[in-house]
Amino acid sequence: MEAFISAAVVLALIFIALGFGVWIFSGLLLVAVASLAFVADFSVDRIGVIAKSVMWKSASTWELAAIPLFLWMGEIIFRSDISERLFRGLTPLVEWLPGRLLHTNVMGCTLFAAVSGSTSATTATVGKITTTALAERGYDRSLSLGSLAGAGSLGLLIPPSIIMIIYGVLAEVSIAKLFAAGVIPGLMVAAIFSTYIMIRCVMRPELAPASLGGITLRKLIGAFVDLVPIGILIVAVLGGIYSGIVTPSEAAAVGVFAAIVLTAILRKLTWSVITDSLMAAVRTSCMVCSILVAAAVLATAIGYMHIPDGLTKAIAAMELSPWTLLLLIAALYIVLGLFLDGISIVVMSLPVTLPIMVQAGFDPVWFGVFLVLMVELGQVTPPVGFNLFVLQGITGSNLSTVVYAAFPFFLLMCLAVVIISFAPSIVLYLPDLLVK
């Protein structure tokens, strides 16, 4: 009961602080400090050392480097010829597809997911390259923002994925199996998103601009030529990782390097391209990373208030049938996802939820994929939804616009959760096949 009240108080504080218009990172920090002071009754000194320690720890994390570096890569691509060529090249290829270039968000994020396990980096990089181009061509803004918010978290499900490694260690499940298990559900979510875009665009053709006319062989050849630069970039980064020369955490630096070299080859490289892209990357990265750091302090405060512990233990005490249990656990994760980041959700809840789920007969590999999907849902729910923040930052839209745009995709991800619950073999087929 105490955990429920604390959770409600924290949520209310977040709504008040953010609603008042405080910058989001300082708002989250304020809520963390206030709830430690008033709910947990800690002294100012104790709160101060906690905040300092957690901020330093979360800011000086090597994995976080993917954010500024991929952002820089995205900004270079945005400022060079590469993105223009990408869209010019794709246009004739997707002519037949309802929604045409709107699918670039989903496709781009899926591809990026094979490189990066950071949702913020994925959303920001792909978004930087696509949103302006799509808006200029007259594609529906809401559908573009929403698909980006939804597909931006595919990186958690499609390997490499740090959150899966963490789950694997905590749950003592083979990481190779988890990586294999994420692939089909990841592609399935992407397919659901694309199908939704197609249906919307068939029902309301004005969501996409008018077609530019038929496809000729000449156009197709031109298209492939235009796609060469981005193709080289993708091969360089993916090839680096899958040959073992580059680790996933290092891939972003290779991306920056390749983008600079390609821009130079295309004769678009100037000093101002480098400095402008770098300064823009610094701005977005400061915004994203400062929010992540503040959210880490908030997560610690929530841990001190024993909220995840209390909520999970309340469910564990109920002795439910497997399906009711699953439903409640899903609801629990949606609640935790309102105000916690993904890794915090996993590490805070797992010691209690995993044993009860396994005891109820759920496969731990399946539960890992289920959990990652629940974490992805949390990325697009307010008040603390990192994909929403990133999209607000890179597009300048209001948070409410982004939330509204992301909502259908939130529902589609819920649909994906329902599908894997009724057909667990979607998750378990590949790991059983590949990993002995």
Partner 1 sequence: MRHFLSLVDLLTRAGAIMAAVIVAAMVGHILLEIVLRAVFDSSTYVLDEFVGYGVAASTFLGLGYTLEQGGLIRVNILLARIRSRAMRQLTEVTCVAACFGVFAMVWLYFWSSISRNWTRGAVSETVAQVPLWIPEGLLLLGLSIFLLQLVAYAIRIVSGEPMIGERGPVAAAE
Partner 2 sequence: QTYVWDMPNEYPATSVQGEGDRHFAELLKTKSQGDIKIVHHFGASLGFRSKDQLDAVADGAVVIANTFVPPLGGINPIFVLSSLPFLVSNASEAYMLYEVARPYYDKELARYNQKLLYASPWPASGLWGSRTYDKPEAVKGLKMRTYDPNGTLVFKAAGAAPVQLSWADIVPQLTTGGIEGVLTSIESGLSASFNDYAKHFTALNYDTTINMVTMNLDTWNKLPAAGQKAVLDAAKETELFLWGNIDKVIQRNYDTAAKRGVTIAEKVDPAFRRYLQEQAEPVIAAWVKRAGKDGEALIAEYRQRQKVATTVAANGSAN
Q: Name the site residues for partner 2 (rule: CB under 8 A).
A: 45-46, 49-50, 53-54, 56-58, 62-63, 160, 162, 165-166, 168-170, 172-177, 241-245, 247-250, 296-297, 299-300, 303-304, 306, 309, 344, 347-348, 350-351, 435
Smallest gap, in angstroms, from Cβ of residue 394 to partner 1?
7
Nearer to partner 1, 86 or 252 (CB): 252
Smallest gap, in angstroms, from Cβ of residue 137 to partner 2?
37
Contact of 280 with 144, CB cutoff 8 Å:
no
For Na ion, how many residues bind (rule: CB under 5 A)? 10
Which does residue 381 touch among partner 2, partner 1, Na ion, none (CB within 5 to 8 A, set by kind)?
Na ion
Nearer to partner 1, 82 or 246 (CB): 246
Nearer to partner 1, 54 or 181 (CB): 54
Smallest gap, in angstroms, from Cβ of residue 4 to partner 2?
17
Q: Cβ–Cβ contacts within 10 Å for residue 237, how many?
A: 28
Which does residue 72 touch among partner 2, Na ion, partner 1, none (CB within 5 to 8 A, set by kind)?
partner 1
Which does residue 289 touch among Na ion, partner 1, partner 2, none (CB within 5 to 8 A, set by kind)?
partner 1
Which does residue 300 touch among partner 2, Na ion, partner 1, none (CB within 5 to 8 A, set by kind)?
partner 2
User: 362 to 401, contacts with Na ion by CB under 5 A?
Assistant: 378, 381, 384-385
Q: What residues line the site for partner 1 (CB under 8 A)? A: 17-27, 29-30, 33, 44, 47-49, 51-53, 55-56, 59-62, 64-65, 67-69, 72, 240, 245-246, 249-250, 252-254, 256-257, 275, 278-287, 289-291, 293, 389, 392-396, 398-400
Nearest to 178 by CA among 191, 190, 161, 192: 161
Residue choice 99, 150, 155, 255 for contact with Na ion (CB under 5 A)? 155
Nearer to partner 2, 50 or 90 (CB): 50
Smallest gap, in angstroms, from Cβ of residue 383 to Na ion?
7
Which does residue 54 touch among partner 1, Na ion, partner 2, none (CB within 5 to 8 A, set by kind)?
partner 2
Q: How many angstroms separate the CA atoms of 265 and 262, rounded? A: 5
Nearer to partner 1, 19 or 205 (CB): 19
Q: Return the HEC string of the chain.
A: CHHHHHHHHHHHHHHHHHHHCCCHHHHHHHHHHHHHHHCCCCCHHHHHHHHHHHHHHHHCCHHHHHHHHHHHHHHHHHHCCHHHHHHHHHHHHCCCCCCHHHHHHHHHHHHHHCCCCCHHHHHHHHHHHHHHHHHHCCCCHHHHHHHHHHHCCHHHHCCCCHHHHHHHHHHCCCHHHHHHHHHHHHHHHHHHHHHHHHHHHHHCHHHCCCCCCCCCHHHHHHHHHHHHHHHHHHHHHHHHHHCCCCCHHHHHHHHHHHHHHHHHHCCCCCHHHHHHHHHHHHHHHHHHHHHHHHHHHHHHHHHHCCHHHHHHHHHHCCCCCHHHHHHHHHHHHHHHHHHCCHHHHHHHHHHHHHHHHHHCCCCHHHHHHHHHHHHHHHCCCCCCCHHHHHHHHHHCCCHHHHHHHHHHHHHHHHHHHHHHHHCCHHHHHHHHHHCC
Q: Counting contacts by CB under 5 A, is residue 248 touching Na ion?
A: no
Which does residue 30 touch among partner 2, Na ion, partner 1, none (CB within 5 to 8 A, set by kind)?
partner 1
Q: Counting contacts by CB under 5 A, is residue 91 touching Na ion?
A: no
Nearer to partner 2, 50 or 129 (CB): 50
Only one residue has tokens 């995840």, namely: 308
Smallest gap, in angstroms, from Cβ of residue 193 to partner 1?
24
Q: How many angstroms separate the CA atoms of 225 and 323, rounded? A: 52
Smallest gap, in angstroms, from Cβ of residue 259 to partner 1?
11
Q: How many angstroms separate the CA atoms of 31 and 35, rounded? A: 6
Which does residue 293 touch among Na ion, partner 1, partner 2, none (CB within 5 to 8 A, set by kind)?
partner 1
Rule CB under 5 A: which residues touch Na ion?
113, 117, 155, 158, 161, 337, 378, 381, 384-385
